[in-house]
């Protein structure tokens, strides 16, 4: 309750601030385009970083647009996200920048938003092409190529292995677009370098689950040389499993996302490499694209954003 009061007070203060700055000759607050940012779970560090990046960008460009940022409770709460989009249509926002919790289920409601004259930009998790085509929708995807990023990490790992080495993949939640893309990227790199993928299991993006899965994997395949994890949380779990089994250093681990908790491990060499898709900029790229579309009414085209390889040298 106290939090809610504090929150309301904070919002009121921010609005007051906006109105006051809005009086200084600049156009009033309500004439600026309003952009809604709809994300997945704000409990997830990745989306939190995304949101903070967006808020900072808005603060620096307060004269260009107003931001409404919303998230859902957990990443599978599709229903709630549909409701959020509907609310945003009702509030007559100018653009919606969305990281869909489900690449298929969110397409119809975004179609309704477009029909209502709202510009929709897709970030993070790409809408399913077949569903978009089926509904005759064109929603631009602004984001990194996860497959390319994973391939980059895999290629760097391959330089530290011998052709024919046994490797294993720890995937994200089965069926999630990013999980599939990253697995494909890992597979591309491993096959190209002649490695032998002997196991692939889901770690549900989660540390403890990956820890259990990896513990069992290394028992069954003592010849394993490397484990490719589709995110850093799972890489942390994998490293803990190797430490418990006394195989740290023997088996190489790579991750994806470059979260803060992985930095220490990168420096120590316990994690060989990860990929940074610039979480703090992801929402901003989407917002800037939406602004561009609002200003110039350009045609929706996909736009690729950078993914960088992070190794011990770049670790912060």
Which listed range, 38-46, 81-89, 116-124, 280-288, lies at the site for other proteins (CB under 8 A)? 38-46
58 or 202: CB nearest other proteins: 202
Applying the rule CB under 8 A, the residues between 48 and 107 that interact with other proteins are: 48
* Full 3-state SS string of 97-120: EECCCCCCCCHHHHHHHHHCCCEE
User: What's the closest the beta carbon of residue 218 comes to other proteins, in angstroms?
Assistant: 8
Query: Residues 251-270 vs other proteins: string with x where CB under 8 A?
Result: --------xxxxxxx-----
| CA–CA dist 245, 212 (Å, integer) | 12
User: What's the closest the beta carbon of residue 164 comes to other proteins, in angstroms?
Assistant: 19
User: Are 257 and 282 spatial neighbours (Cβ–Cβ below 8 Å)?
Assistant: no
61 or 278: CB nearest other proteins: 278
CA nearest 171: which of 163, 181, 161, 162?
Answer: 181
- Look at the alpha carbons of 230, 159, 184, 49 in this order and tell me if their dihedral is positive or negative: positive
Applying the rule CB under 8 A, the residues between 195 and 254 that interact with other proteins are: 199, 201-202, 206-208, 211-213, 215-217, 219-222, 233, 236-237, 240, 243-245
| CA–CA dist 17, 30 (Å, integer) | 13
Q: Which neighbouring-strand residues pair with 36?
A: 68, 96
| CA–CA dist 315, 268 (Å, integer) | 10
User: What's the closest the beta carbon of residue 70 comes to other proteins, in angstroms?
Assistant: 16
User: What's the closest the beta carbon of residue 90 comes to other proteins, in angstroms?
Assistant: 27
45 or 280: CB nearest other proteins: 45
User: What's the closest the beta carbon of residue 42 comes to other proteins, in angstroms?
Assistant: 7
- Look at the alpha carbons of 272, 199, 238, 204 in this order and tell me if their dihedral is positive or negative: positive
208 or 312: CB nearest other proteins: 208
| CA–CA dist 292, 225 (Å, integer) | 47
Q: Which neighbouring-strand residues pair with 252?
A: 226
Q: Which residues contact 305 (CB under 8 A, 6 or more apart)?
A: 142, 143, 144, 277, 278, 281, 282, 285
User: What's the closest the beta carbon of residue 264 comes to other proteins, in angstroms?
Assistant: 5
Of 18, 45, 302, 312, the residue at the interface with other proteins (CB under 8 A) is 45
Which listed range, 44-52, 111-119, 128-136, 151-159, lies at the site for other proteins (CB under 8 A)? 44-52
Applying the rule CB under 8 A, the residues between 267 and 306 that interact with other proteins are: none
User: What's the closest the beta carbon of residue 202 comes to other proteins, in angstroms?
Assistant: 5
User: Are 234 and 201 spatial neighbours (Cβ–Cβ below 8 Å)?
Assistant: no
> What does the binding site for other proteins look like in residue numbers (CB under 8 A)?
42-45, 48, 174, 199, 201-202, 206-208, 211-213, 215-217, 219-222, 233, 236-237, 240, 243-245, 259-265
């Amino acid at each position: 309750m106290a939090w809610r009061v504090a929150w309301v007070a904070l919002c009121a203060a921010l609005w007051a601030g906006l109105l006051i700055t809005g009086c200084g000759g600049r156009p009033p607050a309500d004439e600026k385009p309003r952009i809604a940012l709809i994300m997945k779970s704000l409990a997830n560090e990745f989306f939190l970083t995304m949101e903070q990046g967006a808020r900072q960008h808005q603060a620096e460009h307060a004269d260009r647009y107003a931001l409404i940022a919303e998230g859902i409770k957990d990443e599978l709460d599709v229903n709630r996200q549909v409701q959020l989009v509907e609310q945003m249509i009702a509030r007559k926002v100018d653009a919606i920048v969305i990281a869909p919790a489900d690449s298929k289920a969110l397409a119809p409601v975004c179609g309704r938003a477009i029909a209502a004259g709202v510009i929709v930009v897709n970030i993070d998790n790409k809408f399913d092409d077949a569903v978009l085509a089926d509904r005759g929708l064109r929603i631009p995807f602004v984001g990194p190529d996860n497959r390319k990023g994973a391939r980059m990490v895999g290629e760097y790992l391959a330089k530290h292995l011998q052709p024919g080495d046994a490797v294993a993949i720890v995937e994200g939640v089965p069926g999630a677009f990013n999980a599939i893309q990253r697995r494909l990227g890992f597979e591309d790199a491993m096959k190209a370098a002649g490695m032998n993928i002997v196991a692939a299991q889901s770690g549900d993006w989660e540390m403890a689950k990956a820890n259990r899965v990896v513990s069992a994997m290394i028992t069954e395949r003592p010849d394993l040389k490397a484990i490719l994890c589709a995110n850093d949380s799972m890489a942390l779990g994998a490293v803990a499993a190797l430490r418990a089994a006394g195989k740290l250093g023997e088996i190489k681990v790579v991750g994806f996302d470059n979260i803060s908790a992985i930095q220490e491990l990168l420096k120590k060499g316990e994690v060989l490499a990860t990929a940074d898709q610039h979480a703090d900029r992801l929402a901003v790229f989407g917002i800037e694209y939406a602004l561009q579309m609002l200003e110039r009414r350009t045609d929706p085209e996909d736009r690729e954003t950078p993914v960088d390889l992070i190794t011990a040298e770049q670790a912060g």
